Amino acid sequence: MSVDLNGRTILVSGAARGLGAAFAQACCSAGARIAVADIDADGAESTAQKLREQGGCAEAFAVDIADPGAVDVLALDVAKRLGGIDGLLNNAALATGIGGKLFEDIDIDQWDQVMRINVRGTWLMTKAFSPMLRRSAKGGRILNIASDTALWGAPRLLHYVASKGAIISMTRSLSREFGEDGVTVNALAPGLVRVQATEYVPEERKQLYVDGAAIRRPQVPDDTVGAAVFLLSDASAFVSGQILPVNGGFISA
């Protein structure tokens, strides 16, 4: 069984930049048609345009995953323009600039915002696209992006860690609800990937990830995307409910 995405349509949320854009690029290079979705409409179009310039097939869509109405409109738009999807990569999340606070210092509004985007948004996207994934002739695939912070209990980041812990639990539960339809549900738990969204992370935390890993170097997007392609492909048809840490051996599931 080859690890490619030929003939599949994959929606990648939060794909305007950073790791999301890298996921979209990797899936496109593996043969998939890509739906690039992001709250930043211009950024989504820029990513889609780059993929098209490289010979890929990509369409851009604007969505705020925290808004139930916007997610429903997105699903209708994707169905109209692309006919449906075979894979959903739930990457969109709030991570930038929220770390560094002790749990007592996190304000309620920010806690709710993180949960609304990271947890509820993932649920809303999965719910909205579940009919398409169940109908997929290729076999539906859902890949959630969690974080290894939920595996080792990173301090000074409780709201984000809790949200990604919820993603891990949701992945396991959803895999059982989707299983009878042949739809797989898995999650990646990346380490500290060096992208624009993590530039604010203190150097001490960045060095912790390098010093504590088996492979002692900074993690970049290309280190992460291969596992995503595998879990969205035919090669992973009997893999579901699994959490795969991709962090150079810093921590295991």
d(CA 144, CA 126): 10
CA distances to 48, 56, 133, 161 from 25, rounded to whole Å, are: 9, 9, 21, 27
d(CA 15, CA 53): 17
Which residue is catalytic, options 160, 178, 209, 250? 160
Burial of residue 129 (CB within 10 Å: 0-12, 13-18, 19+) is: buried
DSSP annotation of 103 reads G
Q: Does residue 200 carry a catalytic annotation?
A: no
d(CA 167, CA 170): 5
The catalytic residues are: 160
